[in-house]
């Protein structure tokens, strides 16, 4: 069982630390409990913009010095923004643990938000937006979320160019002050910190952050929609996503849904891969996935194929889903799927990044980090009857269907109708 110690500073910042004595590194993650979902219409992309700006200079380091601070000693410094949280993380050899804490605290709480740097970063983010727009797979996933939900979840984390161009320095500073404060932040530390006192380091670098006692902004209740949408791109392949409304991230059936995903499209041995790629040769890439948030979630399928195959692809997806609903999952296969899920968990624990994220997600959504034995037990308790029940709950709804490629709306609707998937 993992030993995760918890400390809370006087200003209310929580630290969760997992000691791993057999490795030579330390990984620190600073989590902000809210992401793009809390942005209003005029702020789309501001959480992501703040993330970029925190790397552009502080009171004691310029942008180059920030980049070099860990890279030149073989370490890593990075961040990500999602719809429901942000994370800034740094990794280095164990003897540099103090530096890891120093750099993270410096960029998050002492950034300059220089106006000239902000102008340069608008151009950088515009290039990033263009990069995503040039990726049809990314677009297919993004349009699926936009189709299924309201404005909170339904706008891109990265925002739109018009929003990014409009951000004023005072507005960005205000957003940072409001959300980057102790009641909205916690730390996850993973690695070999034998020679350091994590609580003392946390107090050294984070105790001076003032607690404004601001209440977290609750997410707006998401509206759930469905639809069929063709996004025209002059490319050869079709990039198809389907989404069925399912469960939120804490729902008791989440493990059942992940087992269904493993069975339907979780690798080369899955139903969709073996049938649509191996037997029919209709696609190069096909997989299923689960996306879950605080209050909602969905089950998805992605396929890349020629536009002539769209109707057949949809038909075969429907046929394979019906197999699950009709209970074709054997006892032996269910045991294999459980082994697949448990193996992924246990192998993931060999990576400090996996452990850091597991601690972060556990604290964010469950107020605890479940030990491995408990997680494995929850997976082991899933029955074939559970699989059928959940499959019916999810797949007897009409899915949302998005296609990115050279396929007109009427042709997509015709393919959907031919396949009888709705």
* Parallel, antiparallel or unpaired: strands 297-306 and 228-232: unpaired
Q: Which pLDDT score, from 0 to 100, does residue 3 have?
A: 84
Q: Which pLDDT score, from 0 to 100, does residue 1 have?
A: 43
Q: What share of residues in the chain are helix, strand, coil (percent, to 5)?
A: 50, 20, 30
CA 264 to chain centre: 21
Instruction: Report, as ranges of residue numbers, the positions in the chain whose pLDDT lies below 70.
Output: 1-2, 216
Q: Look-up: residue for tokens 């030149």? A: 72
Q: Which pLDDT score, from 0 to 100, does residue 36 have?
A: 96
**The CATH number, out of the four listed (1.10.287.3510, 3.40.1440.60, 3.30.830.10, 3.20.20.70), of the domain defined by the range 228-419:** 3.30.830.10
Q: Would 4-206 and 228-419 be classified into the same CATH topology?
A: yes
DSSP string, 288-327: EEEEE-SS-EEEEEEEEEEGGGHHHHHHHHHHHHHHHHTT
What CATH number labels 4-206? 3.30.830.10
Give dist(CA 180, CA 85) in Å, integer. Answer: 11
Q: Which pLDDT score, from 0 to 100, does residue 2 have?
A: 60
Per annotation, catalytic residue among 18, 39, 51, 84: 51
Contact indicator for 245, 224 with CB cutoff of 8 Å:
yes
Q: Is 51 a catalytic residue?
A: yes
Domain extents in the chain: 4-206, 228-419
pTM: 0.95
């Amino acid at each position: 069982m993992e030993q995760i110690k918890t400390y809370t500073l006087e200003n209310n910042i929580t630290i969760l630390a997992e000691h791993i004595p057999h490795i030579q590194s330390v990984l620190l993650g600073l989590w902000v409990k809210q992401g793009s979902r809390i942005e209003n219409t005029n702020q789309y992309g501001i959480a992501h913009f703040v993330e970029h700006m925190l790397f552009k200079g502080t009171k004691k380091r310029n942008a180059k010095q920030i980049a070099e601070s860990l890279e030149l000693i073989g370490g890593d410094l990075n961040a990500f923004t999602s719809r429901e949280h942000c994370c800034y993380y740094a990794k280095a050899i164990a003897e540099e643990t103090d530096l890891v804490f120093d750099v993270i605290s410096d960029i998050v709480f002492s950034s300059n938000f220089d106006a000239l740097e902000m102008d340069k970063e608008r151009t950088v983010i515009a290039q990033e937006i263009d990069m995503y727009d040039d990726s049809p797979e990314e677009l297919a996933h993004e349009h699926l979320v936009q189709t299924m939900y309201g404005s909170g979840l339904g706008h891109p984390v990265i925002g739109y160019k018009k929003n990014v161009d409009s951000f004023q320095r005072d507005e960005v500073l205000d957003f940072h002050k409001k959300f980057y404060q102790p009641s909205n932040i916690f730390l996850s530390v993973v690695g070999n910190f034998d020679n350091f006192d994590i609580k003392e380091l946390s107090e050294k670098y984070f105790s001076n952050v003032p607690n404004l006692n601001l209440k977290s902004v609750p997410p707006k209740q998401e509206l759930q929609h469905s639809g069929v949408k063709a996004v025209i791109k002059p490319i050869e392949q079709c990039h198809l996503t389907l989404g069925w409304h399912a469960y939120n991230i804490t729902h008791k059936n989440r493990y059942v849904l992940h087992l269904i995903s493993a069975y339907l499209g979780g690798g080369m041995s899955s139903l969709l891969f073996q049938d649509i790629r191996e037997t029919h040769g209709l696609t190069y890439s096909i997989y299923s996935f689960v996306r879950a948030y605080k209050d909602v979630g969905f089950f998805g399928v992605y396929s890349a194929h020629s536009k002539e195959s769209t109707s057949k692809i949809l038909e075969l997806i429907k046929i394979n889903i019906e197999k699950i609903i009709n209970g074709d999952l054997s006892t032996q296969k269910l045991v294999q799927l459980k082994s697949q899920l448990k193996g992924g968990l246990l192998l993931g624990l060999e990576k400090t990044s996996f452990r850091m994220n597991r601690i972060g997600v556990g604290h964010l959504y469950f107020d605890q980090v479940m030990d491995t034995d408990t997680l494995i037990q929850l997976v082991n308790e899933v029955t074939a009857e559970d699989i059928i029940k959940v499959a019916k709950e999810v797949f007897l709804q009409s899915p949302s269907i998005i296609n990115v490629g050279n396929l007109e709306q009427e042709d997509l609707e015709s393919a959907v109708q031919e396949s009888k998937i709705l």
